[in-house]
Amino acid sequence: MSEWQECLLGQLIEQGKADLQTGPFGTMLHSSEYTSTGTPVIAVQDIGENELKHSKFVYVSQDTVNRLSRYMVQEDDIIFGRKGAVERRAIIKESEAGWVQGSDCIRLRLNGSIDSKFISYQFGSKSYREWMLQHATGATMPSLNQRVLKLLPIMLPSLPEQRAIAQVLSSLDDKIDLLHRQNKTLEAIAETLFRHWFIEGAQDDWEEVPITDLFEIRDGTHDSPKKKTVGKSLITSKHILDGRLDIGNAYLISDEDFNKVNQRSKVDTGDILFSMIGTIGLIYFEQSQNIDYAIKNIGLFKTSQNPDWAIYTYLWLKSSIGQQFIDEHKSGSTQEYVSLGNLRSITFQIPQTNTLKDFNVLASEYFRKISLNFVQIFTLEKLRDTLLPKLMSGEVRIKLD
C-alpha cells in the first residue's frame, strides 16, 4: 500500500480530476412534466448496488431533456442518492448515457486520470459504506450533500492497477449479469406460456376461487428490531429487485428478533414475496433451500403450503391481470401501499386439474434452470464480495504486465 496515495474527494475536485453535480431543484423539474415515455429520470429509488434498478422509471420529453442538459449523465458517471440509502451508488452504463439526473441524486464525474469503475467498486467496500452512513446528516433519514462527499477519503494506486482491479471485479459482475439476463429470458418464456394457457385460453366454465382457499397470505413484521453488526438479515421492500433479493444491503438483527419475526411470517422454500409499500408490486419467488432472512412490511404468499399453485401465483402476479389488480387496489397519497386485506381478496379462475398439472410440468423446467443459475450467481457474488476488500486494501495485489 506504500505506493497508494490517499486524498480527499474534494482535493480531486480542486485539481480538476473530478466534478460533483447535485440534481435539479424541484422548481426546475415538476412532476407535471413526467410522461409515460421518453427519457428516463434517475431517482434515488432507482439506485441499486453499483447499477441502476430498471424497474419503474419516470420519463420526460426531449424538450425537458434539452432544458436540463447539464443534468444529463454520461457513461461511467457515478450516481448517489441524496437521502435514504445513501451508501448505495450506481455507475452509468453506455446504454444509460443521456438519461436525466433526478433532483434527489448527486452525480460524480471523473476525468481520464482516475478509473471510474475502480472508484465505484471502492465505494462499495464495507468501510466506505459505513463512512457514508456515519457522515450523512439527518436524524430520521440519512442525507448526503456535496460538502459531505468532498470529505470522502479516496485511496488511489497507479492508473494501470486501478484498471486491473476494476477488470477483475467487472469480469465477475459481467458473468453475474449474464446469468441474470438468462433468467429474465427463461422467465419471459414462462410468462408467455402462462398468458397463452390461462389468460388467452381461459374457459367460461372455470370456477372462481378465493386465493385464501388455496394458501395463506401474511405480511412481515411491522416492528423495527434493533440493528446489529452481526446477525440475520431483515428484508424490506427496497431489497426486492428485478427477480432477486438484495440481501447484502439489508441490515442485521439479533437471533432473538429473527426468531420472533419468523413466528409470524417465516419464509419457506416455494413462497412468494411481494412489495406492499413504496414501489408496489415487485415480486420474488423463493426457490432456495437455505433461507436465512426475515421480512418486514412485505406481503408473503405461502405458496409452499400448496406447491401446485406456486408458479401459477407468481406468474399471475406478474401478468397484465395481476398488475391491473395491483393498480386498482393501491392506496395512500404520500406513500402508496397495497393492504393485506386487498391481497387476500384476490380470486383465481381455477382450470381443470390436468391443465394445471400439464402447465407445471412445462413451466417448472424453466424455473429449475433459473434456480440453478441463482446458485451460480450466489457463488460468484460471494467470490466478488470476498475479493473486493482484499483488493481495495492492497492485501491481494494483481500482477501487472
Distance CA 122, CA 129 (A): 9
pLDDT of residue 2: 55
Answer yes or no: CATH 3.90.220.20 is held by domain 207-350.
Answer: yes
C-alpha radius of gyration, the chain, whole number: 23
CA angle at 140 for the pair 136 and 146, rounded to the nearest 5°: 25
Using DSSP's 3-state secondary structure scheme, residue 123 falls into: helix
Instruction: Report the residue count for the chain.
Output: 401
Distance CA 46, CA 82 (A): 12
Q: At what angle do helices 310-318 and 320-328 cross, to 10 degrees?
A: 70
Task: Provide the grid cell at 81.
Answer: 442518492
Show me where the domains of the chain are located. Answer: 5-156, 207-350
* pTM of the shown model: 0.84
Answer yes or no: are the C-beta atoms of 68 and 100 closer than 8 Å: yes
pLDDT of residue 238: 84
Within 8 A by CB and 6+ apart from 236, the residues are: 220, 250, 295, 296, 297, 298
Which neighbouring-strand residues pair with 5? 156
* DSSP states along 126-143: HHHHHHHHHH-B-SSS-B
Comparing CA positions, the residue from 120, 161, 114 lying closest to residue 397 is: 161
Q: Which helix (H) or strand (E) holds 16?
A: none
- Which residues, given as ranges, of the chain have pLDDT below 70? 1-2
User: Do the two domains 5-156 and 207-350 of this chain adopt the same fold?
Assistant: yes
pLDDT of residue 57: 87
| Number of Cα atoms under 13 Å in the Cβ half of residue 55 | 25
Answer yes or no: are the C-beta atoms of 98 and 64 closer than 8 Å: no
Considering the four listed CATH numbers 3.40.50.2000, 3.90.1280.10, 3.90.220.20, 3.90.105.10, the one that applies to the domain covering 5-156 is 3.90.220.20
Q: How far is CA 115 from CA 33, 52, 80, 112, in A?
A: 35, 19, 17, 7
pLDDT of residue 394: 86
